[in-house]
A and B are shown apart, each in its own frame.
Chain A
Amino acid sequence: MATDTTHADARSGTSPRGRKPKRPFLHRPAVVAMVFLLPFLVLYVVFRVYAVGYAVVLSFQEIQGIGSSEWTGLDNYQRVLTDRTGFTALRNTMLYTIGTLLVLIPVPFVLAAILRSRWVARQSMFRSILFLPVLTSLVVVGVVFSLLLSTNGLLNGFLGLFGVPAQAWLETRHLAIPAMIIMATWRWTGINIIYFTTGLSNIPNELYESAAVDGAGPIRQFWHLSVPLSKPIILFVTVLTIFGGFQLFVEPLVLWGSGGGPGQGGLSAVVHLYRTAFTSFDLGYASAIGVVLAAIIMVFSLIMLKAFGFFAKDR
């Protein structure tokens, strides 16, 4: 956001726009903006705004079975506050989101940087390999991971080499979230590497060259050039990861069938919403859960945006 204003300010100072008010219709800024935005906005309004509005309206209704509804004001929102299962689900979801943030930002970023350095041979091959998991259908990934993570599975075998005792990853309440983070790491690392690679390639080489001339080693270069200059893309991936974390849904479903996991240790907020909507057919309450969840995600995202914004001011 801060970057945004910087650009805008710079523009208003130097842009010749202000001095030429009489432009042809199609070249007026607002018109130009509309022309460029129009396709997106039309699709967005027709398909998103309508659907979101529909869901928000439902959140003020009680629905009992197919074809019946009744206005109940804020009742559904009140119910959210006393929903025990809902709080379990929210806690799991937050833990998962924090876990993925801690892993899926730094690891892919460092890997992206290493994979661009000249210390690694066959970079493109490695990048393609790390990217493969995301191509695989989650239905099958669920099967593969239930075998890999089983008590006598490969992961325990590997950890056993370091003296770590075998864990029942998929059958223990407090290991359900770590198991899903392991799966997420496998699946999403490659994609984030690609995001970061694109970001890193946007940094002019001259900066690295002059840093090298000043005697900065690779690690210094990484911290003082690569990281700060990748800020817009790190911000993007962070928001995306928060969003993805809070939308956790398919993973618990393919690992445990019902989506609850051992002792509800894998139950996510969206699975809870989904069950409310599609198993209990309580569409009104499900919509209220959705709205509250959206608000929470939005708050988290805005905090992130703000945090990154302050960071920019300091520099």
Chain B
Amino acid sequence: MLAITGFGRRRLRWKAVLIAGLLVAASCGSGDDDSAADGDGGAANGEAQDIELEFWTFVDAHTDFMQARADEFNEQSDEYNIILNASSADFEDMHDRLLVALQSGSGAPDIVDIEIQRFATFLRGDVPLHPLTDIIDNHRSELVEERTAPYRADGVEYGIDYHLGAWVMYYNSEILDAAGVDVDSIVTWDDYIAAGQQVVENTDAWMASIETTDRFSVLGPMLQNGGGTYDENNELILDSPENIEALQLISDMVHEHEIATASAGGQHHSEPYYQALNEGQYASVWMPLWYVTRFKDFMPETEGKILIRPMPEFSPDGFISTMGGGTGTAITTQIEEDKLEAAKAFLEFAKLTYDAQVSLYTDLGFDPFRNDVYDDEALTAPDPWFGNEPVMTNVQAMFDRLAPEFTGPRYPEAVLQLRDVVAYQVVEEGADPAEALRQAAEEIRSLD
């Protein structure tokens, strides 16, 4: 017995060493022929040079949008012929895949959409993205300046958005009529609360829904009041007086005036909420402008009934809107150098030019962030779904009272605090807004 065991053990060790050696050899050997993923983008024979660009997004509609822009680009460019390999994955998955590829130093796309909640993650340390300041400079005078702020670090811009995301109030005119409220009489948040009391008294609906597991309901008024997560100096301002005031307002609507309630499903993007809003359980909701697509996609009964207005103001001449959500399209540093110029030219064409910005509205239903396109006839047309009003023209009217959103290094974590903790504590557990915000800020400061 013993003899055999001893013998076996020796054998095993010897084998193990051999195997380990073989493995090392094998992995080294295969590492050598590390052939580049894709060959040079075709020979430039005479005319436009073929440029293959890999593009990742987490919004399926963006692949169609960018493909259409690539086709237009190729028609007018005699220098480059863009071949776009677009692929989409869902939000988390795409960002995870991107981070893995960037950290590994290989396998990242050339162009990529990065959502505002994740953008700051990529701006830490050595930024793996190419500066885009020069192409933005070409159009800066026409752009809504505030929209370039979230993708900027140390004065350098790394991403270009798809929309302004102006924050608006969506009113259900049918419910307001039943309650005897004139929508245009609502100017201040006090007016809004008074109207809400009328709605609650005279109808079965609530005036407003508040998200308890997402951030939009709390972040909107906070930003509108001049607060938010960060100020322009990269300082965390989660517990600022402006934020406390805004959150107190929301808390009062729920607990004191009892005109607002936690939204069905806890989120304005949840399926039970679509159902409830469609059935007319809420007279209004504040969300960014891109939420219009949700009405059209999932809430057929709201057709013609929804009116879009600015947010009620906190103070006379104060902000009446801000910006929500966002996606920065960026160029990664893993792009081959000879493709960089073409990619930048394409990105500028696809996101910043007049025609591209018109397409943001016509193709995607988003509000553009270039001032001069709002007079285009495509944008001035009335929208039957939304009270047959010229929605985009009304959005443009808010531009001079638009609160900016700044992001900072811990923006992702700050947003998570708002959506996981603060909103729930204040709405469902009646926590003191100031205390809830103070704790959240403390939690984030403790990360560094």
Tell whether any CB of A sits under 8 Å from a CB of B in the complex. yes
Interface residues of A (CB under 8 A from B): 12, 17-18, 21, 28-31, 34, 38, 41-42, 45-46, 63-68, 84-85, 139, 143, 146-147, 150-153, 168, 170-173, 253, 256-258, 260-264, 267, 275, 278-283
Q: From DSSP, what is the main secondary structure of chain B's interface residues? A: helix
Instruction: Note all chain B residues with C-beta closer than 8 A to A64.
Output: 124-125
Q: Which of A34, A68, A282 contacts B126 (CB 8 A)?
A: A68
Question: Could you tell me the distance between the alpha carbons of A170 and B264 in the complex, rounded to whole angstroms?
Answer: 10
> How many residues on chain B are close to A (CB under 8 Å)?
57
- A30 near B8 (CB under 8 angstroms)? yes
Name the residue of chain A whose CB is nearest to the CB of B90: A139
- A279 near B266 (CB under 8 angstroms)? no
- A42 near B19 (CB under 8 angstroms)? yes
Question: Could you tell me the distance between the alpha carbons of A28 and B123 in the complex, rounded to whole angstroms?
Answer: 59
Q: 0/1 per residue, B8-26, Cβ < 8 Å to A?
A: 1101100100011001000
Interface set, chain B 96-140, CB cutoff 8 A to A: 96, 99, 102-103, 105, 117-118, 121-128
Instruction: Note all chain B residues with C-beta closer than 8 A to A279.
Output: 117-118, 121, 412-413, 416
- B124 near A281 (CB under 8 angstroms)? yes
Name the residue of chain B whose CB is nearest to the CB of A261: B213
Name the residue of chain A whose CB is nearest to the CB of B424: A263
Instruction: Note all chain A residues with C-beta closer than 8 A to B15.
Output: 34
Instruction: Note all chain A residues with C-beta closer than 8 A to B118.
Output: 279
Instruction: Note all chain A residues with C-beta closer than 8 A to B265.
Output: 146, 150, 170-171
Min Cβ gap B321→A in Å is: 24
Instruction: Note all chain B residues with C-beta closer than 8 A to A275.
Output: 416
Q: Which of B155-163, B172-180, B269-277, B358-366 binds A?
A: B269-277
Min Cβ gap B27→A in Å is: 7
Interface residues of B (CB under 8 A from A): 1, 3-4, 7-9, 11-12, 15, 19-20, 23, 27, 90, 92, 95-96, 99, 102-103, 105, 117-118, 121-128, 212-214, 262, 264-267, 269-272, 275, 410, 412-413, 416, 419-421, 424-425, 428-429, 443, 447
- A258 near B416 (CB under 8 angstroms)? yes
- A45 near B23 (CB under 8 angstroms)? yes
What 12 additional pairs, Cβ within 8 angstroms, besides A150-B271, A257-B269?
Answer: A28-B7, A28-B11, A30-B9, A64-B124, A66-B126, A170-B265, A171-B262, A171-B428, A256-B266, A260-B213, A267-B420, A280-B413
Instruction: Note all chain B residues with C-beta closer than 8 A to A278.
Output: 92, 95-96, 99, 121
Given contacts A258-B213, A263-B425, contact A29 B4 (CB under 8 A): yes
- B264 near A150 (CB under 8 angstroms)? yes
Question: Could you tell me the distance between the alpha carbons of A282 and B95 in the complex, rounded to whole angstroms?
Answer: 15
- A261 near B420 (CB under 8 angstroms)? yes
Instruction: Note all chain B residues with C-beta closer than 8 A to A21.
Output: 3-4
Instruction: Note all chain B residues with C-beta closer than 8 A to A63.
Output: 125
* 27 A-B pairs with C-beta separation under 8 A: A12-B1, A28-B8, A41-B19, A42-B19, A45-B23, A63-B125, A65-B126, A66-B103, A66-B126, A67-B128, A68-B126, A143-B271, A146-B270, A146-B271, A150-B265, A151-B264, A173-B429, A262-B212, A262-B424, A262-B428, A263-B421, A263-B425, A263-B428, A278-B96, A279-B413, A280-B410, A280-B447
- B421 near A264 (CB under 8 angstroms)? yes
Name the residue of chain A whose CB is nearest to the CB of B429: A263
Question: Could you tell me the distance between the alpha carbons of A256 and B92 in the complex, rounded to whole angstroms?
Answer: 13
Q: Which of A139, A146, A262, A264 has the most CB of B within 10 A?
A: A262
Q: Which of A38, A172, A283 has the most CB of B within 10 A?
A: A172
Question: Could you tell me the distance between the alpha carbons of A151 and B275 in the complex, rounded to whole angstroms?
Answer: 12
Instruction: Note all chain B residues with C-beta closer than 8 A to A253.
Output: 92
Given contacts A18-B4, A146-B265, A278-B99, contact A263 B420 (CB under 8 A): yes
Instruction: Note all chain B residues with C-beta closer than 8 A to A280.
Output: 121, 410, 412-413, 447
Question: Could you tell me the distance between the alpha carbons of A85 and B122 in the complex, rounded to whole angstroms?
Answer: 23
- B267 near A257 (CB under 8 angstroms)? yes
Instruction: Note all chain A residues with C-beta closer than 8 A to B275.
Output: 147, 150
Question: Could you tell me the distance between the alpha carbons of A64 and B92 in the complex, rounded to whole angstroms?
Answer: 21
Name the residue of chain B whose CB is nearest to the CB of A277: B99
- B7 near A30 (CB under 8 angstroms)? yes
